[in-house]
Amino acid sequence: MDGAAPLVHARGLTKRFGKATAVDGIDVDVAPGEAFGFLGPNGAGKSSTMRMIGCTSPPTSGTLRILGLDPAADGPRIRARLGVVPQQDTLDTELTVFENLLVYGRYFDLPRGVIRPRAAELLAFFQLAERAGERVEPLSGGMKRRLTIARALINEPQLLLLDEPTTGLDPQARHALWERLYRLKQQGTTLVLTTHYMDEAEQLCDRLVVMDGGRIAAEGSPGELIRRHVSREVLELRFADGVQDHLDLGVLAGIGDRVEALPDRLLLYADDGDAAAAAVHDRGVRPASLLARRSTLEDVFLSLTGRTLVD
């Protein structure tokens, strides 16, 4: 963070649609080379924030500087140096895979001679080379997503914006995509992404903010957030039908830092899950199943907001 000027700098950034406030005065700085995430459930204001950063949605109020420039005055100049992956693929279905890259590169005023080798390289990197001449429509969801990201890289952007990059993909396609994004990060591309998957945030982000209701609830690296807001481990207790409703939570008092009751299970936060399990057993509580696991960002979100990320 120190030294280098931030690529994204926001203070009191706000977006209202009529009476609804989508983004409610957030402060954000993204440093060059960083992978920065917005984690939050659907409707938290992540996409609105991303569209403001992408200079396709004017802020209602607050300060916003992208690459040191003002989006209101220098939109085209900023966008020339951004790569944008929107939440929904907006590929040009009337063109082939290769033509999508060609036309998009032309929008950035790149000469064809520059685009052709670069497109070939990107298609190879995203494992789409064999599909270059095919129409976009019949491609699988994972392929379309990879093509959208390849397209966003055609102008060799300084800053890549990814809105929910893996939503709707099967687990295999997600992991393949994470691996590609990780390699981009290693090559020095600054990533800003939104996600409502805590595993995605943990995998990809150096630093992230937890968003809820248009505001920032917490900020830090994944490890920091877990250390600061929850214990190291969690014990999950599941009961037979109806048993949990009649359980007096007082009986578990003192075993861990905290108990969170979800409709289908109890979460017991403790630094040592196995020790906590033994303690539960000692007090005569007999759940149908017990599971000790590491705390995740999901638990951080739960402890901050009292709700789960994916409902």
Partner 1 sequence: MIASLVASSALGGRRAARLFERNLLVTRHIWLVVAAGFFEPLFYLLSLGIGIGDLVGQVEVDGRLVDYRAFVAPAMLAASAMNGAVFDTTFNFYYKLRFARTYDAVVSTPLGVDDVALGETLWALARGGVYAAAFLLVMVVMGLIGSAWAVLALPAALLIGFAFAGAGLACTSFLRSWQDLDVLQLAILPMFLFSGTFAPLAAYPAGLRWVVQATPLYHGVELLRSLCTGAVGVSLAGHVLYLTTMGVVGLAVAGRRIGRVLLA
Piece in contact with partner 1 (CB under 8 A), picked from 99-107, 169-177, 201-209, 273-281 = 99-107
Nearest distance, CB of residue 97 and partner 1, angstroms: 13
- Subset of 119-158 contacting partner 1 (CB under 8 A): 151, 155
Q: Which is nearer to partner 1, 8 or 252 (CB)?
A: 8
Phi, psi of 60 (to 5 degrees): -75, -40
Sign of CA dihedral 243, 249, 251, 255: positive
Please count the other Cβ atoms lying within 10 Å of the Cβ belonging to residue 13: 24
Determine, following the binding rule CB under 8 A, whether residue 69 of this chain makes contact with partner 1.
no
Phi/psi region, residue 307 (left: phi>0; alpha: psi -120 to 50; beta: rest), is beta
Determine, following the binding rule CB under 8 A, whether residue 178 of this chain makes contact with partner 1.
no
CA 247 from chain centre, in angstroms, equals: 37
Q: Which is nearer to partner 1, 154 or 309 (CB)?
A: 154
Tell me which amino acid residue 103 is. Answer: V
Piece in contact with partner 1 (CB under 8 A), picked from 5-13, 95-103, 220-228, 295-303 = 95-103
Q: Which is nearer to partner 1, 103 or 132 (CB)?
A: 103
SS3 of residue 126 by DSSP: coil
Nearest distance, CB of residue 79 and partner 1, angstroms: 5
Specify whether the CB–CB gap between 9 and 64 falls below 8 A. yes
Q: Residues touching partner 1: how many (CB under 8 A)?
A: 30
For residue 244, CA distances in Å to 190, 248, 265, 267 come to: 46, 9, 8, 12
For helices 222-229 and 297-305, the axis angle rounded to 10 degrees is 50
Q: Which is nearer to partner 1, 51 or 229 (CB)?
A: 51
SS3 of residue 246 by DSSP: helix
Binding mask 245-284 for partner 1 (x = CB under 8 A): ----------------------------------------
Report the C-alpha gap between 304 and 88 in whole angstroms. Answer: 29
Phi, psi of 219 (to 5 degrees): -145, 145
Choice from 4, 12, 61, 92 touching partner 1 (CB under 8 A): 92
Report the C-alpha gap between 36 and 154 in whole angstroms. Answer: 21
Piece in contact with partner 1 (CB under 8 A), picked from 36-44, 52-60, 195-203, 221-229 = 52-60
Determine, following the binding rule CB under 8 A, whether residue 12 of this chain makes contact with partner 1.
no
Report the C-alpha gap between 268 and 260 in whole angstroms. Answer: 6
Tell me which amino acid residue 51 is. Answer: R
Choice from 33, 86, 141, 168 touching partner 1 (CB under 8 A): 86
Determine, following the binding rule CB under 8 A, whether residue 102 of this chain makes contact with partner 1.
yes
Tokens found for residue 3:
């030294």
Choice from 106, 283, 286, 293 touching partner 1 (CB under 8 A): 106
Report the C-alpha gap between 293 and 225 in whole angstroms. Answer: 17
Determine, following the binding rule CB under 8 A, whether residue 220 of this chain makes contact with partner 1.
no
Q: Which is nearer to partner 1, 144 or 229 (CB)?
A: 144
Q: Which is nearer to partner 1, 70 or 99 (CB)?
A: 99
Binding site for partner 1 (CB under 8 A): 17, 54, 56-58, 75-77, 79-80, 82, 84, 86, 88, 90-95, 99, 102-104, 106-109, 151, 155
